Amino acid sequence: MAANPGHAVTDTATSPGATGPPGTASGRAGSSGSAARAAAQSAAAPAMSDGWQQALDELADDLRRRAVARHTVRAYRLDCTQLAHWATGKHVEPANVELRTLRRYLAALSEQGQAATTVARKLAAIRALFRVQVAAGRRPDNPAELLSAPKRPQRLPQVLRPGDVAALLDRIPVTTPLEQRDRALFELAYAAGLRAEELVSLEIGAVDFDAETVRVDGKGGKTRLVPVGEHALARLASYLERGRPALLTSADGRVAETALFLSKSGRRLSTSDVRRRLRTWVRAVPGGAAGLAGTHPHALRHSFATHLLEGGADLRAIQELLGHATISTTQVYTRVDSTRLRSAYSRAHPRA
């Protein structure tokens, strides 16, 4: 179990420019390099006031009550810790933060070269911080609600071609327990469109072989049932029969692990383990498969959704399978599909 996320990153950032976790708050956790840079900078930071420390603790407690993912709690707290150090240096307490205070802070972030996506992520965390302060009766309003997030560049998600997905998955042998685990892991990731966090949180009883489904605990504690194809089911059955028992014995008789996917030491995998193993197998594909360059676990999820859409699946059905709260999040895949259609049209039509 990870350390208490409400206290894991206290006093680890000093300025608006301190680097936080990459990606969005609902997305990836911070890298060890970012944490190290933030920790190194904290030595020169003014001591955080008790008011800011209390506000950060209350934010973490609120997020945990809402069943927010642990890595998201850490990311939000780290982003708000950076604001707390900046504000402490200017003798501003949480109750005294005004709209112009936050404008100055965001301006400082931009001046230091922070990307629009990073600033938007930090603003989302700050909104959550002051939402909790309002709910606790510590201030009458949320000044962050009056700020608009900077416009983010419209980047399409990385989508693999079906042939590249097949080349990647078929390249993973099934000789050793770790290979059997990896094949089952990535077959399931593509077959059900699961996030890396969802994969590592699966319990051993999550797969129903009779119903051909997997029970997934998604964001916000929401559970969904997702169909699983025969290829993934076959690899999962093989892993459960031979691979997982072999990995479980490496736990040296310690408390039995209930996770579906185990590490070589018999413990639950981490998301960093998933990313590392995927990079290993991408490099193993003959010729490097240009279409696989830079592939990350979420690319398998993107590919799952896009290939379903290209095959005629309804957008609402894809939304449910992915566990998206709103259809607008799923609509990004329609842009991917239309981009491919335009490209095909340009190549094939004689008067394009």
Catalytic residue among 77, 235, 298, 307: 298
DSSP labels for 245-277? HHHHGGGTT-SPP-BSSB-TTSSB--HHHHHHH
Instruction: Supply 11's token pair.
Output: 């006093």
Structural contact between residues 233 and 242, judged by C-beta atoms closer than 8 angstroms: no
Distances (CA, A) of 206 to 212, 232, 344: 11, 14, 40
Q: Which of 219, 264, 268, 296 is catalytic?
A: 219
**Residue 239 annotated among the catalytic residues of the structure:** no
Best CA proximity match to 126, nearest among 77, 60, 68, 72: 77
Indicate the residue type of 173. P
Cα–Cα–Cα angle for 233, 238, 243, nearest 5°? Answer: 130
333 labelled catalytic = yes
Q: Pick the closest to residue 157 from 20, 6, 303 (CA basis).
A: 303
- Residue of 37, 139, 267, 324 marked catalytic: 324
Extended beta strands in 181-323, E state: 207-208, 213-217, 223-227
Token pair for residue 133? 């302060």
CB-facing half-sphere around the CA of 144: CA atoms within 13 A? 24
Give yes or no: 296 in active site: no
138 as an active site residue: the answer is no
- Residue given tokens 């990385």 in the structure block: 158
Q: Which of 195, 244, 277, 302 is catalytic?
A: 195
| Residues with Cβ within 8 Å of residue 218, at least 6 apart in sequence | 195, 198, 224, 323
Whether 324 is catalytic: yes
Query: Any long-range contacts for 138-141 (C-beta under 8 Å, 24+ apart)?
Result: 138/55, 138/94, 138/95, 139/94, 139/95
155 catalytic per annotation: no
User: Of the listed 244, 301, 302, 307, which one is catalytic?
Assistant: 301
Are the beta carbons of 304 and 193 closer than 8 angstroms?
yes
Active site residues: 195, 219, 298, 301, 324, 333
